[in-house]
Amino acid sequence: MNRSTRIQSSLLILFMLLAVACSGGGGSDPSMQEIQKNKQVVIGTHAVDMPFSFGKGSGVQGFDVDIGNEIGKDVGYEVRWANIPFDQLFPTLEKREIQMVISSVSITDERKSKFAFSNSYFTSGQIIATRRELEKIKGLDDLSGKKIGVQTSSTADQFVSNNSKLASCTKTGYATIDDALIALNNREIDAVIGDEPIVSCSIFKSFPNLRTVGSKLNSEEYGIVLNKDDKALMAIVNKTLDRLKTSGKYKQIRDQWFAETEKGLADMKKKEDELARLAITPKTLIFNWVKDPGFTFKMSRLDGFTIMLKNNLSGQVAESTPIETSGNSGRCQIKVIPGTYSFSMKGYPLKSTVEVPLVDAMTMNSTINLGAQTTISPLK
């Protein structure tokens, strides 16, 4: 190797060492200098979005928190978490009161114009939530003219404002997704649009009267947010994300925070699908007529008459087979789907309510006791 080649090699090695120092925590950007000065990494989050970040005593916990703590290990300092309202996270980062934001933040072009984002660490998207009783709301097209709740300053907020299908809707902003879901549960609004994993987890944990409908409205990627000139710190953040995914630690953390909710939601969906199937599956109802011995009434007078069941929800009417009697007993049958029905009969002043339950049985029986006070027993 000649002298010129040795000089070029030495310069190349020196350049590589300088590059490693700059990207590996050498204090070359403002945030790294601040971290080294205070011997801690300050991360901002809005700790209200289970399972990403939420309160634990005087501290925080969750998926985002575990990711952030792993970053702290690679930076070489402990993490101090700052709980900050979502709409204040970006101004606080811009003022350098914190070094980064990890708070289930979706990567958008608008945000990228002012801040730097790490590689994606989670795939999300918007979903519609509504009350179970509002069966007609099944998707975006059913929200016309409705009252919709969103988290203020979120991508859901922008989605509702920019979607032409929702132009006739009334939008209300809330500090958190949970606040919006509470308003929905209290019948103050008709629907909530928000990040699917957060909305689904909140409903699973706290709002059994609510449900999500349809599939995700879009796809969004979560990223960790830094100031644009913090390139050395960003290099460490991305290396940590790569390490977690390559080592399997990312999956371990994800399973810890999402497995219970995802299983619970899957079980709930399976149950809902089964109930939906039962709700449209007709059942054969057999009505057995029995006359009290002391009741002076000829059972044969019922021969050929029918009973009518009117669905209280749809208004549809079903008619039974003609009643056939023998001695002091009789029988007829009718086929209807589960629901609440008004019972009436041609030729006999008998009116009542019949409840057809959501059960697996395809055939159910009821006894009509004719007497001074005629009664209809529950179906079983």
Would you say residue 20 has pLDDT above 80?
Answer: no
What gap in Å lies between CA 132 and CA 276, rounded to an integer?
12
Q: How confident is the model at residue 348 (pLDDT cuts 50, 70, 90)?
A: confident
Q: How confident is the model at residue 271 (pLDDT cuts 50, 70, 90)?
A: confident
Q: Is the peptide bond before 85 cis (omega within 30 degrees of 0)?
A: no
What gap in Å lies between CA 199 and CA 193, rounded to an integer?
8
Q: At what angle do helices 249-279 and 196-206 cross, to 10 degrees?
A: 60
Q: How confident is the model at residue 275 (pLDDT cuts 50, 70, 90)?
A: confident
Two structure tokens written together for 92: 């606080």
Q: How confident is the model at residue 293 (pLDDT cuts 50, 70, 90)?
A: confident
- Work out the average pLDDT over 5-19: 40
Sign of CA pseudo-dihedral 50, 56, 58, 60: negative
Which has the closest alpha carbon to 127: 202, 206, 18? 202
pLDDT of residue 120: 97
The DSSP line for 298-348 is -GGGGTT--EEEEETTT--EEEPPPPEEETTEEEEEEEE-SEEEEEEETTS
Residue ranges and CATH numbers for the domains of the chain are 16-104+227-264 (3.40.190.10), 126-218 (3.40.190.10), 280-376 (2.60.40)
Would you say residue 25 has pLDDT above 80?
Answer: no
Would you say residue 177 has pLDDT above 80?
Answer: yes
Q: How confident is the model at residue 276 (pLDDT cuts 50, 70, 90)?
A: confident
| Backbone phi, psi, residue 163, to 5° | -90, 120
pLDDT of residue 272: 83
Enumerate residues 6+ apart whose C-beta is below 8 A from 115: 90, 93, 94, 225, 226, 227, 228
Average pLDDT of the chain, as a whole number? 90
pLDDT cut 90: percent of the chain above it:
79
What gap in Å lies between CA 226 and CA 68, rounded to an integer?
13
pTM of the model: 0.73
Identify the residue with better confidence: 279 or 8: 279
